[in-house]
Structure formats: C-alpha cells, structure tokens
Amino acid sequence: MDKNISKLAADNIRILSAAMVEKAKSGHPGGAMGGADFMHVLFSEYLNYDPADRTWFNRDRFFLDPGHMSPMLYAGLALTGTYSMEELANFRQWGSPTPGHPEVDFARGVENTSGPLGQGHVMAVGAAIAERFLAARFGEWMSHNIYTFISDGGIQEEISQGAGRIAGHLGLGNLVMFYDSNDIQLSTVTDDVTIEDTAKKYEAWGWATMTIDGNDHDQIRKALDAASAETEKPFLIIGKTIMGKGAVTANGDSFEKQVSTHGQPLSAAGASFADTLKNLGADVENPFQVFAEVEALYNEANNKKAAYVADKKAEQAEWAKANPELAAKLAQFISGETNIDYAAIEQKAGAATRGASSTVLGVFAEQVENMIVMSADLANSDKTDGFLKKTTVFKKGDFSGAFLQIGVAELTMGAIANGMALHGGVIPVCGTFFVFSDYMKPTARMAALMQLPVKYVWTHDAFRVGEDGPTHQPIEQEAQIRLLEKLKNHHGDNGMLVVRPADVNETTVAWKMAMENTKTPTALILSRQNIPNLPESDYNKALQAEKGAYIVEKDADTPDVVLLASGSEVGTLVEGAKLLREQKGLKVNVVSVISEGLFRNQDKAYQAEVLPADVPRFGMTAGLPVTLEGLVGLNGTVWGLDHFGYSAPYTVLDEKFGFTGENVLKQVTEMLG
C-alpha cells in the first residue's frame, strides 16, 4: 500500500466530512476527521463485502455506534461506491439518503440505525452471536467478522457494560471493536468525567486489547491483523486519535483537539473551513470530489473483494450441493418464515398467560430451529424456561444451544436482540418483567424505527403482580408501550404490535400473531397469576384476536352495554356480565381487546360490530385508565388504576382496588344510571 495514497484516502474522508457539515450548517465534523483513518483502512483492506450486492448474507458487518459521526460513515461508504457526491452534498436535507444520524440501509452498507450512543456496538454483539449460532449449525464456511466503532460517549453509556460482559463471557472472537479515543466529548474533555482505565475494564470482562495511534495506518493494520488472529476473545482496539485532525485556523494554526469541533461546522467552531480544506489538499470551491488516486485504490479494493466473494459463493454452492437439506434450512432461516401448527398446541385451561406462553415456547424449541430466546435472569419467572428446558445455554465456544442467559441487563438484551435481527437468519425473543420494559424502551424504540421483528415477552403485567409491591407493578407501562402502536414507522405501519391475551388460548394466538409479524417488533404482555379460561374458549374462537378485538360474549347486536378490556380483566368482566344479566336483566356483550392499534386498522364495519356506536361502554384496565379511554370515549367510563400499587396478595388488591365481578356490577349499574 502506498503510504501517501492511503493518507490521501483518509484525507478524502476528512474533506468530505467537513464539507458535508459545513454545507448542512449542522453536524459533527471533529470526530469524523479523527476516525477517518480507521474507516479507510477497514473499508478498503479488511471489510469483506460484495461490491455488487451489499446485502450478501455472509458479508462482514460494520456497526457504527456514534451515529453523529455519520459524515465519516457516508464519506467512507462513498469511496466504496454506495453514495454519490450529490447525496453527500445533501447531508441532513429532506428526502436525502444521508440523514443526520444513519438509518439502516443494507444496500448502501449502513448496517444499523444509530444515534443514541452505546446501542450500536451492542447490536454488533448481537450480530456476532447470531453469526456464531449459524456457523455452529451450517459450518465455518459461512463465518464472517463483526466490526464495530465506538466513541468516548459509547464507552461511558451504561449499556456498554452489558455488551462488554456478554461478549467477554461468550468469547466472541469474531467481534472487533475500534474505540475512537480522542479524549474529547461533546461538551467537555474526557478528563472532566472519567479516570477510567478502559483497557483494564475490558480485560476484566475477558477481552483482548491493544492500544495504538489510531491515525497511523500501519498501526491500524497491525491491530486488525492481531484481531483477526484472536479467535477466543473479542478484540478491543483503543485508537488514540486526534479530534478534528487537519483542522486549521485562517492563519494556519492548528485547530485540532478542540471540544468546539465536536458538534458544529468547523467555521462555527472557530476554525477556517477553507484553510482546513486547503491543508487537506482539497479543491475548496468544489470539495465534493474523490481524488483520482483514491478512486483507483477503491476500484482495486473492490475488485479484490469481488474475487474473494466469488470464491466464497463457490464454496457455498459446493456445500449446498453436498448438503441440500441444510441448504434448504439455511434459506428458510434467512427468509424469517416459520410453519407452526398452532391449533395443535395443547394448553392447560386456567393457567397464567406466562405459563401458556411457556407452553408455546416449548413447541418453538422443537419446531423453530432458528429462534434464540433470552431472559434477563428471570427465565423461571417470565417462563422463557419453557424454551430453555428443551435446549442449552450459549457458552464460550459452544453455540449449539439456543438460549442466552443475559444476566440482569435488560437494556443490553434489547440491543442484542436488535443486532441479531439486523444480522438476520435468527428470530430473537427476550423476556423480563413488564415493569422493566421501562429499561428496554430505548431499544424497543430503535427496533420500531428499524422495523425489526424482535419479540418481547413481558410478564407480571399489572398490579396483580401482588406482593412484590409498587416497584414491580406496572401501572402506566401498558399505556406507555402502546404509544409505539400509535407511532407509525416509515412504511406507515404501526411501529409495534402489542398484544395482551386474556387466557391461554388467546396466548397461543398472540404468539401466532407475533411470529407472523415479520415487519415490526411484537410485545406480548402476560400475567403472573392464573386466569380462568374465557367462556367456550378454544383456539378457533381465540383466532378472532387477530383482528385486535372481538366479541367474547354476545347477548345482542345492540346490547345494553359493552364491556371491554384486555388480559386478565376480560375474565373479571365476564364475571361482572353474569351478575348484570342475573341481577339487572341486562343484555351485555364482552369484548377482548388484545391490541387497540390492530383493531383500529380493521374496517369500520367490523369496528362498529364490535363496538356499536350508541351503546354505552365500560372499560376495565389494571393500569392507567388512559389505556382504554380512546376506545371507550364519551360513551362510557373506564375503571382503571390511577396510582402506584401496594404490596399485598393480588386477591387482596383486587378487592381493595375494585377489580371484581361485584364491582363491575356496581360501576356499570351506576354508569347506566
């Protein structure tokens, strides 16, 4: 490699990054200029991809963690051929494929959406696990590396602890992380916030580490070679880099290592944009260019990669010929499709819905060979152990099982699930208590934004958790997570499917809905306590839940009152309906609303059938009333809980809080006046 051309290529990334931010009048140039050297060496010399098809399944992955360094990513990818100069020039503009923070776009080499610091590199850990899972089943011929790039902010984010621990514990030798350590963060120098010995910290987690001059290309190569050679441990390259490398003022003084270049155009920071570009060898009038030598370098690099990929594809073709069944299975894994006979799943009547979920997961353990289930140290409570009992946990060097013990690290679990889904070929499921969905929200939002089919098993779903008390009783969480049902993704679909089944058969159907929803994340909200089966409950009746809401008990097309709820409260309404009929002679329909968001997607006629326009409605929710107020509207009232719960057996709380058939009788009678 010609040293001068190599430097020129990195300078090209610096020039483009600085120019993009300058033109957009917003963005983050300094870090991008410091990290450019690593990006160039990685992209041109190490990262395996198919120049003709960036979605090639066995490509190396590159996960950017600090999304604000998007100029560096776009500029680097532009050198590889996936962005035009015009697209770079339209950085951060309406309709441009170069948004302020990267949004997943496999075809262009953007493997993940990033922005909230810390999540990106944890997605890389998830991808690295998926890679090992698949290689364990199909062979090392398909192995590839997972690279990720993290900044000081990501190192500080709480979530990096979970990733560091899990990657070290599992000995992910396929994971290489470059830590762009420039001693500067957005608002200050790192000395103001940390004295951490980062290498020591990662070594405590079982990583191999190497500290280098992150702007020195030969040192970068040496580190990447060492990382490739390390197969037993994840590898951390701590690259000491220079923030704003190449930046100068109008009189030519260095303007490197300045906090001010972190988050604004160079000119706004106090540097001279024009002189910096000159200093880097750019055409100041027309900076959106690739140097001819650099273009040639990348053409050659892409040719090499194409040859490598051709060999790998030939190897795969031979393998497929020799192993047609495995090849078919791999294709099916990648398709994300499953084929389960849900009707055949036998449920125990009256079980808790977490138990019913466990039954389904037990079937999946045998029939969905590409499912990976995780739990944040609650497998025996969230009942993901229904899956675990039929498989084994991931261990260092052994990914033959399909269960990941994450430990107590809910947010990490969410991001790892996202990374698995981004990698593809596997179906990630994560379980914990519903109240801890609070911890997972940032990753659930990213799953919704990236449209990833991650499944959440959130159990212990309401104050009916009982004795554990208010810290463990979700009250506002159902309303909260259903906000992601209301929030449309960029394809116009509900951002998430949220289902809260009312009995064991609805739980089977809920899982069917989750598995068939390959376009967005799905949350299953499940009970701790046992729930009696709904009247005449069976799988076929419960299938109506696929419309989001349906009539469980129907007295009339136009009854005196409609009672509606989700989850265990439907059963309470059934009790109340019985009393209303017996004692008041009323005609009562009972409706189960497993997902308001889905119900609102149905045609108006169906909605009107379930909730006739002029019939009074009574809603019941063991959470905040707002959860049902949208459906009940001014046609009635909602009996909910507007306060934190208390510690006591749930049957006591039911009495205290009025979640009984008797109280339904009382409240509905009062409502109807």
Query: Which residues within the stretch 384-403 sit at the binding site for a copy of itself (CB under 8 A)?
Result: 385, 393
Q: Does 261 bind a copy of itself (CB under 8 A)?
A: no
Query: Smallest distance, Å, CB 39 to a copy of itself?
Result: 20
Please state the closest distance from residue 525 (CB atom) to a copy of itself, in A. 16
300 is annotated as an active-site residue = no
Given 131, 256, 410, 553, the catalytic residue: 410
The yes or no reply on residue 544 touching a copy of itself (CB under 8 A) is no
**16 Cβ neighbours under 8 A, 6+ residues apart:** 71, 74, 75, 78, 88, 287, 288
Apex CA 227: angle with CA 222 and CA 231, to 5°?
A: 145
Residue ranges of E strands in 282-436: 371-375, 403-405, 427-433
Rounded to the nearest whole angstrom, what is the least distance from the CB of residue 306 to a copy of itself in the complex?
Answer: 32
The smaller minimum CB distance to a copy of itself, of residues 162 and 425, is found at 162
Tell whether residue 183 is a contact of a copy of itself (CB under 8 A). no
Residue among 7, 26, 106, 210 that touches a copy of itself (CB under 8 A): 26
Element at 237 (helix H, strand E): strand 235-240
407 binds a copy of itself (CB under 8 A): yes
Instruction: Out of 81, 442, 535, 616, point to the residue binding a copy of itself (CB under 8 A).
Output: 442
Instruction: Please identify which residue in 445, 455, 512, 617 interacts with a copy of itself, judged by CB under 8 A.
Output: 445
Residue 153 contacts a copy of itself per CB under 8 A: yes
Site membership for a copy of itself, residue 138 (CB under 8 A): no
Stretch (H or E) spanning 256: none
Question: Of the candidates 359, 654, 336, which has an alpha carbon nearest to the alpha carbon of residue 506?
Answer: 359
Six-digit token pair at 637? 């009232």
- 377 near a copy of itself, judged by CB under 8 A: yes
Considering the complex, what minimum distance in angstroms separates the CB of residue 489 from a copy of itself?
6
Q: How far is the CB of 197 from a copy of itself (least distance, A)?
A: 4
Residue matched to tokens 């499912």: 371
Q: In this complex, which beta carbon is closest to a copy of itself, that of residue 26 or of residue 289? A: 26
Which C-beta is closer to a copy of itself: that of 51 or that of 102?
102
User: Pick from 161, 254, 391, 669: which binds a copy of itself (CB under 8 A)?
Assistant: 161
CB 103, min distance to a copy of itself, A: 7
* Closer by beta carbon to a copy of itself, 38 or else 436: 436
User: Exposure of 282 by Cβ count < 10 A (0-12 exposed, 13-18 middle, 19+ buried)?
Assistant: buried
- Residue 430 φ then ψ, to 5°: -130, 140
Is residue 24 close enough to count as binding a copy of itself by CB under 8 A? yes
3-state secondary structure of 469: coil
Q: Which residues contact 494 (CB under 8 A, 6 or more apart)?
A: 484, 485, 486, 487, 488, 520, 597, 598, 601
Q: What angle do CA 209, 211, 213 make, to 5 degrees?
A: 150
> Closest Cα partner for 451 from 488, 413, 500, 411?
488
Task: For the CB of residue 244, give the shortest distance to a copy of itself in the complex, in Å.
Answer: 16
User: Which residue, 223 or 449, is less far from a copy of itself as judged by CB?
Assistant: 449
Cβ contacts of 368 within 8 Å, gap of 6 or more: 338, 340, 427, 515
Least separation in angstroms between CB 441 and a copy of itself: 5
Residue in 380, 443, 433, 384 with CA at minimum distance from that of residue 411: 443
Q: What is the dihedral of CA 347, 351, 357, 360, to 10 degrees?
A: -20
From candidates 350, 469, 616, 661, binder to a copy of itself by CB under 8 A: 469
Instruction: State yes or no: residue 319 binds a copy of itself (CB under 8 A).
Output: no
Strand partners, 497: 522
Does 647 sit near a copy of itself (CB under 8 A)? yes
- The residue type at 18: A
Examine residue 263 and tell whether it contacts a copy of itself (CB under 8 A).
Answer: yes
Count, residues near a copy of itself per rule CB under 8 A: 114
**CB closer to a copy of itself, 40 vs 92:** 92
Residues 218 and 52: their CA atoms lie apart, in Å, by 29
Task: Provide the b/e sequence for 217-236 (b: ≥16 CB within 10 Å).
Answer: bebbbebbeebeebeebbbb
Which positions from 94 through 123 interact with a copy of itself, judged by CB under 8 A?
A: 94-96, 99-101, 103, 113-118
Please report whether residue 267 would count as binding a copy of itself according to CB under 8 A: no
Q: Which of residues 489-508 bind a copy of itself (CB under 8 A)?
A: 489-490, 492, 495
Answer for which of 224, 365, 379, 454 binds a copy of itself (CB under 8 A) is: 379
The answer to whether 630 contacts a copy of itself (rule: CB under 8 A) is: yes
Distance CA 458, CA 437 (A): 7
Q: Which amino acid is at 666?
A: K
Task: Tell me whether residue 447 or residue 586 sits nearer to a copy of itself (CB atom).
Answer: 447
Q: Between residues 95 and 673, which has the closer beta carbon with respect to a copy of itself?
A: 95
Q: What is the DSSP string of 597-609?
A: HHHTTS-HHHHHH
CA gyration radius, the chain: 28
- 51-70 binders of a copy of itself (CB under 8 A): 67
Cβ distance to a copy of itself smaller for residue 472 or 512? 472
Is residue 436 part of the contact set for a copy of itself (CB under 8 A)? yes
Choose the binding region for a copy of itself from 471-479, 512-520, 556-564, 583-591 (rule: CB under 8 A): 471-479
Asked if residue 81 lies in contact with residue 298, where contact means CB atoms within 8 angstroms, the answer is yes
Task: Compose the 186-225 pattern: x for residues touching a copy of itself by CB under 8 A, - for all others.
Answer: xxx-x-xxxxxxx-xx-xxxx-------------------
Q: At closest approach, how far in Å is the CB of 353 from a copy of itself?
A: 19
- Of the candidate residues 51, 154, 559, 636, the single one contacting a copy of itself (CB under 8 A): 154
List the one residue from 55, 303, 380, 540 that touches a copy of itself (CB under 8 A). 380
Is residue 648 part of the contact set for a copy of itself (CB under 8 A)?
A: yes
Task: Give the length of the chain.
Answer: 673
When asked if residue 471 is in the footprint of a copy of itself (CB under 8 A), the reply is yes
Please state the closest distance from residue 61 (CB atom) to a copy of itself, in A: 19
Q: 538 and 592 in contact (C-beta within 8 Å)?
A: no
Q: Which of 19, 125, 409, 416 binds a copy of itself (CB under 8 A)?
A: 409
Structural tokens at position 239: 């690259």
Cβ–Cβ < 8 Å for 400, 430: no
d(CA 341, CA 335): 19
Which residues belong to the active site? 410
